[in-house]
Chains A and B, each alone.
Chain A
Amino acid sequence: MVVCTGGLRAIHIFGAFSIALILCLTLGPLAAVSSRVETGLRLAPADWSALRFTVTQAALSAFLSVVLAIPVARALARRRFVGRALLVTLLGAPFILPVIVAVLGLLSVFGQAGWLNTILGRIGVPPVAIYGLHGVVLAHVFLNLPLAIRLLLQGWLAIPGERFRLARALGFGPRDIAHHLERPMLREMVPGAFLLIFLICMTSFAVALTLGGGPRATTVELAIYQAFRFEFDLGKAAQLALVQALICGLAGVAVLRASVAQVTVAGLDRGVDWPFRHRGLWADRIWLSMAALFLCLPLLSVVLDGVARLFVLSPEVYRAALWSILVAAGSTALAGGLGLSLALFADRLRGGAAPRLVEGIGLLTLVVSPLVMGTGLFILMFAFVNPTDWALPVTVLVNAVIALPFVLRALIPAVTAIEAAHGRLADALGLAGWGRLRLVLLPRLRRPLGFALGLTAAFSMGDLGVIALFAMPEQGTLPLMVHRLMGAYRVDDAEAAALLLLILSLGAFWIFDRGGRAGADM
């Protein structure tokens, strides 16, 4: 293709700048962390136990999520019912749900004084404890079961309809269908789904922070945080950060090898042509109801418990909300700029270079998790400035980089499709550089860009990661404020603040996603 050289140059400059920034923010902290580990890795017994707990809880969470997802996904695939579309939409919600909100919801259902224990107490069953391994696994299943269901539902819907027709023609029973159609699909999908959720749970800091703790339930990331905040031992934090990077690197490479299916945004509204209407109907109904209850009750309880005090919270909560909005706005703008630069740059790459670029950035952000990035940046900044003064800008940067793989996955295919459909016409009219971006690409990118920015905004609004490492009380964001209120046993205020956070996160997603859809002529 012939392209105006001016446009080419600008795109390469922006692309190179974006890649350089990402490398600085990932490899820089990694190098800083490594440089602090002078004596080689020497793990104390407590560190080993953190490592064991991290792997154990991630494996258990991933196992339970996938195993429970199988009957629910099958029921969703083969049953038509009122509210199915709503349930499928709801399964997408945990992507934009702040973890701390989910944790509060789970506490009010499964916690000491929660609904479940109240009911159990009435019938004389001893209370269930939510802190520790139970709680961490429960929260991870709550957050990742929807992802597992969506992945497996995609698997069911990907079985060609002709095969079900053939099965019917051959007089297959349910057992034959399971043997010839469903199990081969599951054998292909389950390992990837397991690995993906395993990896997510390895780096999930907020759940461990709120529900874990103590010698028997500390993850590596939580140990980094504790070394940092309570022991002021940068060397130990660096050592643990290196351990975390190593295990995430191993798991990340395994995920890439397993070529995990991407979660698609649309197309789950179909169903399979299931030949046996009545068999297993009640089992399906029970599975679907249980899944819906499990996913809805905690959120419902946050809303019900929080709404009373929503407007009478203390000023510092509203100030924290304002910080959160600013952080979300900053990281969304940055992720959008970086994502757009890289997507345009990737479109100019030949052969398999573009997918490799996306994979590389994805792997980097997995290996260098937010806490590792935060630790490294702290070490780097410590020599020059007081890092706590920079808590919010650092959070903006880290959140933007972490969200970038999602932004790229939405934007790169869209840019490729636009160039394929309209690139020649734009070339014919001499539209290059800025004019091409403004007149052709941006208007046609509105939907995927809106969706990607919505995800980024919601994620950044609800993030409780690097901010917990850096921030002083007066500059905390709303998720950190919720965590502090919980720690101070101000449960009512915590629930109201969590509801505010939920509204802000969903609202941020809604604004961007709507903005992308409104008037978009697709």
Chain B
Amino acid sequence: MLTCDDLIVRQGQFALHAALQIPARARVAVIGPSGGGKSTFLLSLGGFLTPSAGRILWSQRDITDLPPAARPMAMLFQDSNLFPHLTLAQNVALALGPSIRLTPERKALVSDSLARTGLTGMEDRLPRDVSGGQRSRAALARALLQNETFLLLDEPFAALGPALKAEMLDLVHALTTENGTTLLMVTHEPAEAKRIATHTCVVADGQVAPPVETEALFADPTAVLRAYLG
């Protein structure tokens, strides 16, 4: 259980408030209008923004002040998820620690992770030499190899076409189910939430609503969600 205990994050004039709990192994869609605070919410959970009040707890442990790398979370951003000067294998290897040396054991783990995302044989390519979809897969391969309890996706597939995006979401669905990872993913699309999310959080005007089961939520939308769906 991940708990946001009256968390408040300020960014200039904007303030985000979150008081909620996320059950382990849930797949949670974070949906809502642009500028409502979706990215701010995920970046705060990931440790990239410092809350001005409140706490984040993971199984009773206070992780509010931990640096990003020390949290039980792997995160993919909207862009820049790979270092452009490192090969796909080197990028993925960074999941195992701050070194790109590929010892036989590390190499096996990296290749396995790349294989699971359909990138067999692409180890030595640079990010600029592969397609956008393949870059997303490599980033996902690294996030999976980090093997954290949580996977946070801040719309990393936004630049992909609809078919590729659906394919990536199915891959995320399959792999998180397989690993028992708790997923939080930002989205604009109700269809995406319905496609893979067990739960959905509506974020609007700096308020993060507690997660509700996706089917139930869309069957009987709250006022905020109705306003967003139009």
A residues engaging B (CB < 8 A)? 1-4, 421-422, 424-425, 427-432, 435-436, 439-440, 443-444, 520-521
Contact = CB atoms under 8 A, between A and B. Distances in A.
B68 A431 contact: no
A490 B83 CA distance: 57
25 contacts: A2-B47, A2-B48, A2-B50, A421-B80, A424-B80, A425-B80, A428-B46, A428-B48, A428-B69, A428-B74, A428-B75, A429-B69, A429-B94, A429-B95, A430-B69, A430-B97, A430-B98, A431-B94, A435-B99, A436-B98, A439-B94, A443-B83, A443-B86, A444-B85, A520-B85
The 6 closest A-B pairs by CB, nearest first: A430-B69, A435-B98, A2-B67, A443-B85, A427-B68, A429-B94
B75 to A, nearest CB: 5
Given A3-B67, A429-B69, A431-B98, A439 B83 contact: yes
A443 B83 CA distance: 10
Interface residues of B, number: 26
A440 B69 contact: no
B70 A521 contact: no
Interface in B11-69: 46-48, 50, 67-69
Interface in B179-204: none
B147 interface: no
Interface string B139-183: 000000000000000000000000000000000000000000000
Nearest to B85: A443
A439 B100 contact: yes
A430 B142 CA distance: 13
- Among B47, B48, B84, B85, the most chain A Cβ lie within 10 Å of the Cβ of B85
Interface of B: 46-48, 50, 67-70, 74-75, 77, 80-86, 94-95, 97-100, 126, 128
A422 B83 contact: yes
A439 B67 contact: no
Nearest to B95: A429
A183 B94 CA distance: 56
- Please classify the interface of chain A as helix (H, G, I), strand (E, B), loop, or mixed, using the class held by over half of its residues: helix
A424 B98 contact: no
B128 A439 contact: no
Contacts of B94: 429, 431, 439
A425 B50 contact: no
Contact of B69 (A1, A422, A427, A521): A427
Given A428-B48, A428-B69, A429-B98, 7 more contacts: A425-B80, A427-B67, A430-B70, A431-B69, A435-B99, A436-B98, A520-B85
Contacts of A431: 69, 94, 98
B98 A521 contact: no
Contacts of B70: 430
A422 B98 contact: no
Given A435-B98, A439-B86, A439-B100, A428 B68 contact: yes
Contacts of A3: 67
Nearest to A420: B80
Contact of A521 (B48, B68, B81, B84): B84
- Among A431, A432, A436, the most chain B Cβ lie within 10 Å of the Cβ of A431
Nearest to A443: B85
- Among A3, A425, A440, the most chain B Cβ lie within 10 Å of the Cβ of A425
A425 B67 contact: no
Contact of A422 (B80, B126, B128): B80
A252 to B, nearest CB: 37
A7 to B, nearest CB: 10
Contacts of B128: 521
A430 B96 CA distance: 10
Contact of B77 (A424, A430, A440): A424
Nearest to B75: A428
Given A427-B69, A429-B95, A435-B99, A521 B80 contact: no
A440 B68 CA distance: 17
B1 to A, nearest CB: 23
Contacts of A424: 48, 68, 77, 80
A4 B70 CA distance: 10
